[in-house]
Amino acid sequence: MSRTPYPHPIVAREGWPYIALAVAVAAGVTAVGGWWSVPFWLIALFVLQFFRDPPRDAPAGERLVLAPADGRVISIETLRDPYAGGRESLRVSVFMNVFNVHSNRAPVDGRIERIDYFPGSFVNADLDKASEHNERNALLIRADDGSLVTCVQVAGLVARRILCYVKPGDMLHRGQRFGFIRFGSRVDVYLPPRSRLFVGPGEKVHATASLLAELPKAGDA
């Protein structure tokens, strides 16, 4: 059984001004230049596809961790979570290129305990150092089973703004849209070290629809 916990806009509202501008420019060039407007319409189509936000059904099942973003798994590492007191964690990093959906969605059901924003640089989000040096926004989530899961929005080389629409104390449902990052970025998910992984480096995932992992049973974390 699956569920879609909230309505999706199909085209992300963050993109409406950009789409309107691109279409207006393309239409204006069409009016004066005819076929010379083709590249501008292609740009408008690119902007439209970048801001698409399709509905996704969240798989049902206890302790499941869903992909928070579309993209490619670029690394899986065991390290200490700097946002949760340095506890040992399993970090799964998903890189989004400019052709992926950039809507960010909750990986687990739970309550947000803390949100920490860090200004930083804008190196290529495909690099490991991006997790430590780039602009980022970290959500510390207490999952329904008591596990701590950290979900970090990381800006990339082109991305210049991280958007987050939730606050500490809010309840999240798996697959719920909580933010957006413009034009290429990554999302890091820190899990309890004994979590069971369903993905490996290099695999493509889709926000909400793809399973990243299963949280350990109580007492096994």
Question: Is residue 4 predicted with pLDDT exceeding 50?
Answer: no
Total domains in the chain come to 2
Full residue range of the structural domain in which residue 24 is found: 10-52
Q: What is the pLDDT of residues 137-187, one digit of tens each?
A: 999 999 998 999 999 998 866 555 788 899 999 999 998 999 888 766 889
- The number of beta carbons lying within 10 Å of the beta carbon of residue 33 is 11
Percentages helix, strand, coil for the chain (3-state, rounded to 5) are 20, 40, 40
Among 164, 154, 142, which Cα is nearest to 188's?
154
How far is the C-alpha of 23 from the C-alpha of 168, rounded, in Å? 38
> Residue 47's pLDDT band (boundaries 50, 70, 90)?
confident
Name residue, tokens 């065991």.
Answer: 78
Asked if 176 and 188 count as a contact pair (C-beta separation under 8 A), the reply is no
The alpha carbon of residue 78 and the mean position of all alpha carbons in its chain are separated, in whole angstroms, by: 20
Question: Is residue 2 predicted with pLDDT exceeding 50?
Answer: no
Residues 77 and 166 in one domain: yes
Asked if 186 and 165 count as a contact pair (C-beta separation under 8 A), the reply is no
Residues 21 and 81 in one domain: no
Helix pair 16-33, 38-50: axis angle to 10 deg: 170
Structure tokens at 16: 């409406």
Mean pLDDT of the chain: 85
Among 73, 122, 138, 60, which Cα is nearest to 100's?
73
Q: What is the pLDDT of residues 192-212, one digit of tens each?
A: 999 999 999 999 999 999 999
Q: What is the pLDDT of residues 69-96, one digit of tens each?
A: 999 999 999 999 999 999 999 999 999 8
How far is the C-alpha of 101 from the C-alpha of 21, rounded, in Å? 20
Question: Is residue 3 predicted with pLDDT exceeding 80?
Answer: no
Structure tokens at 181: 């990052």
Rounded percentage of the chain residues whose pLDDT exceeds 70: 85
> Residue 120's pLDDT band (boundaries 50, 70, 90)?
low
Residues 70 and 164 in one domain: yes
In this prediction the pTM is: 0.83
Residues 122 and 193 in one domain: yes
Q: Is residue 74 part of a domain?
A: yes
Average pLDDT of 102-116? 93
Active site residues: 185
Among 36-45, 126-135, 174-183, which is the least confidently predicted range?
126-135
Beta bridge partners, 93, equal 75, 188
Residues 171 and 93 in one domain: yes
